Amino acid sequence: MSISRRTRVCVYQWSVGCKQQCARLDCSKLVPCSESLQSIALDEHLTEDKCRVTALCALRGELYIGTAWGCVIVADATSLRPLTVFRPYEEDVRVIIPLHPHKAEEAPMIATFGHGYRPLLQRYTPHSSSSTNTHNGYYCLLWQTQHWLPD
């Protein structure tokens, strides 16, 4: 069996009962909301290779998807409707790990591992040309898994 290039950018939901596809999320159609006009390269072509799915994790009704372009996509696990997309890494998201709370009233967290940390604050504030917008190396970031949508 071969996998086409197109399937590497899509996440599919299959029904075990009726043995058919129920939903599909095409990661090549999503742009991170964590960018400003200064930080996003409008002339940069968003190729399918950059939108390739590199990590996946399901936790409490949400699906967390990492891409080769450094994006983390949060989607509703039932419908695959994207809730938010942000780009904390310059390159690929390698791993997404669920971190379950010790107490039931606490929110779970996820840990993401990726290459080239991109600080959010520097993307929205003016900076000198000598400063860098990214930090090389691999980074682990911890995220609370609540309030992805405004109340």
131 and 122 Cβ atoms separated by less than 8 Å: yes
Q: Which long-range contacts (CB under 8 A, 24 or more apart) does 27-31 make?
A: 27/51, 27/52, 27/53, 27/65, 27/67, 27/71, 27/73, 30/71, 30/73, 30/82, 30/85, 31/85
More confident residue, 44 or 3: 44
Tokens 């950059």: give the residue. 50
Length of the chain: 151
Mean of the pLDDT values across residues 114-134?
68
Find the helix or strand (DSSP H, E) in which 96 lies: strand 93-99
Alpha helices in the chain (DSSP H): 120-124
Facing residues of 144 across strands?
Answer: 109
The pLDDT tens digits of the residues spanning 29-73 come to: 888 886 655 555 555 566 788 899 999 999 999 999 999 999 999
Quick one: pLDDT at residue 2? 35
Output the pTM of the full model. Answer: 0.83
Quick one: pLDDT at residue 53? 96
Q: What is the DSSP letter of 149?
A: S
User: What is the Cα–Cα distance from 101 to 21, expressed in whole angstroms?
Assistant: 32
Question: Which token pair is 105?
Answer: 């009233």
The pLDDT tens digits of the residues spanning 88-108 come to: 999 999 999 999 989 988 889
* Sign of the Cα pseudo-torsion (33, 34, 37, 39, in order): negative
